Amino acid sequence: MTTRTGRRLATVLLGSATALLGFAAPAAAAPAGGGLDADVSVGRLVLDPTERGYRGDLPITVTNLGRVDTYFSVTIVEPVAGSIGNLSPDSPCGFQGLQDNRRVVNCLVPGPNLKPGERRTFSVAFQALTTPRDVAMTATGGQVSVNVGDGSPEVADGESFVARFRSTSGSLRNPVPYVQDSQARASITTAGAATLVRQEDGSYQGRLPVTVRWSGDAAHDFLYVDATSLPAGVAIWGTDPQDLPSFFTNFVVPGGRFMAGEERSFDVLLRAEPGTTAGDLGSVTFELSTRWDSIAVADADPADNAATFNVTAADAS
């Protein structure tokens, strides 16, 4: 049985993208003192084709040009929406909203305070969940700036960068612009009916096979399903498998973000309260939506974002 709290899904998943990407909260404010200055430089971001989209690392070097020991943070604007991952080595990070639909992330420079003149290099991982192509591509708009402390509004230095997608043949030559989908392309289907069987405690329980398909490469954190017209006493009791909380009338599609072209099947667990009269309980509609940074993303074909099924309670299997 799914463990539940009294909170709504929006509350639990506030900042859910942070959890999905493994980011932590920012650290405390920067120490006071004069003579604080820094330089930041970035290497090349080359995204190589893999079995699951493209992956690559961006090297970043921060140099303390000031006169005192201190720490710095970097603010990163991703060049491809939904592509930014963790720092290596690990360091606390926090999201700062969207810029042109792309994430802005602030991260502490890993390690102890930098001494005057000290230079430190680390990397940021990126993954673009789009189908690898036989041509090289580029995506512009990436930015890195360095701040004193953990997000001071005063920018000490900044530099832009480009994401270069290597072709499936290994080439970076003659690239074309990478154009990411702005609309979701998701669909949902169900097995058609759910039968709930009476349990020892008098309740009725059953499961409904569900399949969610994802085409395209629009930025998203998760796919969310809301149940409408649930019969009285019938509730969603979880999913199998399950990796995020479900609630009585909604659930998150398990498995996290989708790769372009991915299809995912799972079971939705349903329960009817004791005292329910056996027989036809009515129909339920599952409505699928795509969420990106707590925003509902428009779907290119809303007609396939809903699936209706019938629910029956039976005293014996």
Q: What is the pTM of this model?
A: 0.86
Residue 24 has phi, psi (to 5 degrees) of: -105, 175
The segment(s) of the chain belonging to CATH 2.60.40.1510 are 38-177
Q: Write down the CATH number for the domain with range 186-314.
A: 2.60.40.10
Q: What is the per-residue pLDDT for 291?
A: 97
Residue 304 to residue 264: CA distance in whole angstroms: 15
Q: Write down the CATH number for the domain with range 38-177.
A: 2.60.40.1510
N residues, the chain: 317
Q: What is the per-residue pLDDT for 154?
A: 80
Q: What is the per-residue pLDDT for 245?
A: 87
Q: What is the per-residue pLDDT for 124?
A: 98
| Residue of 14, 16, 2, 15 lying closest to 247 (CA atoms) | 2
Q: What is the per-residue pLDDT for 32?
A: 44
The segment(s) of the chain belonging to CATH 2.60.40.10 are 186-314
Stretches in the chain below the pLDDT threshold 70: 1-35, 150-152, 317
Do 220 and 297 form a contact (C-beta atoms < 8 A)?
yes
Do 169 and 135 form a contact (C-beta atoms < 8 A)?
no
CB atoms inside a 10 Å sphere around CB 100: 8
Exposure of 111 in the CB half-sphere (CA atoms within 13 A): 15
Residue 88 to residue 71: CA distance in whole angstroms: 17
Q: How far is CA 194 from CA 62, 170, 220, 264, 314, in A?
A: 58, 49, 29, 19, 11
